Homo-oligomer: A and B are copies of this chain.
Amino acid sequence: MSDRKQFRDLAAPEAAHDAIDSLDLAPDPETVPLSDARGRILAERVDADLDVPGFDRASVDGYAVRGRDTFGADEADPVAFDLVGTVHAGAEPDVVVGEGEAAEISTGAVMPDGADAVVMVERTEEVEADGAVRGVEARTAVAPGDNVMLAGTDIAAGARALGPGTRLTPREIGLLSALGVDEVPVRGRPTVGIVSTGDELVRPGGDLRSEAGQIYDVNSYTVAAGVEEAGGEAKLYPHAGDDYEQMEQLLFEAASECDLVLSSGSTSASAVDVIYRVIEERGDLLLHGVAVKPGKPMLVGELGGGAYVGLPGYPVSALTIFRTFVAPAIREASGLPEPETATVRGRMAVRERYAEGRLRLMPAGLVTDADGDTLVYPVDKGSGATTSLVDADGVVAVDPDTEYLGAGDEVAVQLFSPDVRPPTLLAVGEDDPALSRLLDRLDSPRFRPVGSREGLRRLRGGVPDVAVVAGPTNREVDAVDLGGWTREWGLVVPAGTPDDTESLGDLVDRDLGFVNRNTDAGLRSSLDAAVDDLADTRGVARSDLTDAIRGFAVGTKGVESPARAVARGDADAGLGLRATAESLGLGFVSLGTESVRVRANPDRVKKPGVEQLSARLDALDPVTDGLAGYDPE
């Protein structure tokens, strides 16, 4: 065993925060054009360099006069003025207003010399003589300064306008515009390099050789998006394999170009070992392993004057450690406050045991009840599944000495992103093409394709809103039937060879390779019932038949998995739907029709998301239209 796998002295979580805080991630301030300044943080105070307005300004349309000339004017006894000119907004006055004189003036125009007040147009009357306007009568008195905004009244030159640390939203952009500022000093955004480790990783879009164990690189892109969300700029580096010198060169290059370098553990332990050795031998290893589940593999260090943090390898674990330890440091460096929506409170939907002796950052999903209150349930028990990324909404920090969280206990969920929202509907159960179309018509639903049997079990557990159940089922469950449809099922077979396989009996009697579904699938229940019928008909034991079907014991997960195996030429027949066979251009041997029902937790029937689903179920035609073998019920 290498040293890497021994975590004798795990650091306390606070020590990990301290270690990261000790690294200097903050780049120098920079200057950006005003048009790019939204969302940035002001690096220094901005004082007004000019008066706003820059001149004494009429604040209404009317007539500029000397206020004292209007004294005594009222509706019954107006005061007459000679009209000496007009001042438009945006123009320099070419008139001086003397005693008994008035100049027509527009809102926003410069007050002409001599005038110190404006009579609003509504309180005046033009005086005509010889068919032309010669003067104006004021029907109200104004004091000097009335309807005039003096220069500097809005902002005086020299006044503090915005302070350092101000977040620039549209209104601050407006104030800066008013001051004529077109270049804004803002906090720099830390550049965060992301080093990919693991020879098996392929960039999305690249060709994947599954037979060689290749997988797409999930963590680099997840973490890069997290970096941008926290106010940093992400920079992806190519992976360096597990050669020491190559890795050393790459890490030094990244350290010289970035304020922080991140990598995540990979299934290739040797690459992580190499990074560890480079940091330890050529840099400064501050911390290795944190007493946090899932923080054991975490690494904090310095290299070439830059900061380095190593994250765990499982996607949810990498995002959890990033969100808990790294994102706050990036936000601090860029000056961005943590968004208020980054944490929500809710009550545990179920009891969750816990006794591990170290802080646990428990991935948790959110679901709302009929009252709109938030319920929290644990997801991803360390499976490393990518789908846990979208099943979990965030993490609950559970203290080392907590033995369990009781159902109904209030907890805080640190969301994976401030933009994460609880789904409007939490559905589980049987995967189905019509269901997929139905979900497309709902507002942000969440569906877990766990199969009919597991779906019902979870519905009984009280977490999901609804379970989608297909095929024969004897399970008793207290649920409200919201509606459903039927679907034709049978054997998906290669295209163009309709005579090869004609019935279930052919699977038994001929040496055909068959791909089954797993036992949670409603399709599997229907197949099992058909096998039972065939055994009755033939008067043989069920196991005689199933033993004779090559592949019967091996279940697959997806509704299309058996059909896709047939399409690839890996099997002669697969359990599936007529709709799947048609969409993949394959042949089909019908074995029957089964119902698919949507069953709701009775406590959630009045929840808006369930009501929306229910309404859609009442008008299914557009959903099932064009799906072969489907019938709305």
User: CB within 8 Å of B: which residues of A?
Assistant: 34-35, 38-39, 45, 47-48, 50-55, 57, 59, 61, 88-92, 106-110, 149-160, 162-183, 198-206, 208-226, 228-229, 236, 266-269, 315, 319, 337, 339-341, 383-387, 389-390, 392, 416-417, 419-421, 431, 436, 439-440, 442-445, 447, 449, 556-561, 563-564, 580
Do A213 and B91 touch across chains, with their CB atoms under 8 A apart? yes
B221 in contact with A204 (CB, 8 Å): no
Chain B residues with CB under 8 A of A176: 204, 221
Beyond A174-B315, A177-B217, A341-B340, is A205–B225 a contact (Cβ under 8 Å)? no
9 A–B contacts from the bound complex (CB under 8 Å): A92-B212, A106-B269, A152-B561, A153-B385, A157-B560, A159-B431, A160-B439, A171-B389, A177-B217
| Chain A, interface SS category | loop
A218 touches which one: B89, B90, B178, B390 (CB < 8 A)? B178
Contact A166 B444 (CB under 8 A): yes
Q: 4 other contacts beyond A92-B211, A173-B221, A174-B221, with CB at 8 A cut-off?
A: A108-B268, A172-B390, A174-B225, A337-B421
Copy count, this protein chain: 2
Q: Contact: A225 with B170, CB < 8 Å?
A: yes
Nearest-CB residue, chain B, relative to A344: B340
Q: Which residue of B lies closest to A435 (CB)?
A: B160
| B559-A175 in contact (CB<8A) | no
Chain B hits for A213, CB < 8 A: 55, 57, 88-92, 108-110
In the complex, the answer to whether A159 meets B50 with C-beta atoms within 8 Å is: no
> What B residues does A61 contact at CB under 8 A?
269
Q: Are B204 and A155 in contact (CB under 8 A)?
A: no
**A216 near B445: Cβ-Cβ < 8 Å:** no
Q: Are B203 and A182 in contact (CB under 8 A)?
A: yes
- Which residue of chain B has its CB nearest to the CB of A391? B171
Q: Is the CB of A219 within 8 A of B169?
A: no
CA distance in complex: A226, B204 (Å)? 34
B558 close to A107 (CB less than 8 A)? no
Q: Residue of B at shortest CB range from A154? A: B385
Contact B208 A180 (CB under 8 A): yes
Supposing A92-B211, A107-B267, A218-B174 touch, asked if A558 and B152 sit within 8 A by C-beta, the answer is: yes
Q: How distant is A223 from chain B, measured CB to nearest CB, in Å?
A: 7
Q: Taking A155-B386, A390-B162 as contacts, is the C-beta distance between A54 and B210 under 8 angstroms?
A: yes
Contacting residues, chain B, for A431 (C-beta < 8 A):
156, 159-160
Contact assessment for A440 and B45 in the assembled complex, using a CB-CB cutoff below 8 Å: yes
Please give me the residue from chain B that is nearest to A145 by CB atom.
B554
Let me know if A204 and B181 touch, CB within 8 A. yes
| Chain B residues closer than 8 Å to A386, beta-carbon distance | 52, 154-155, 174-175, 178
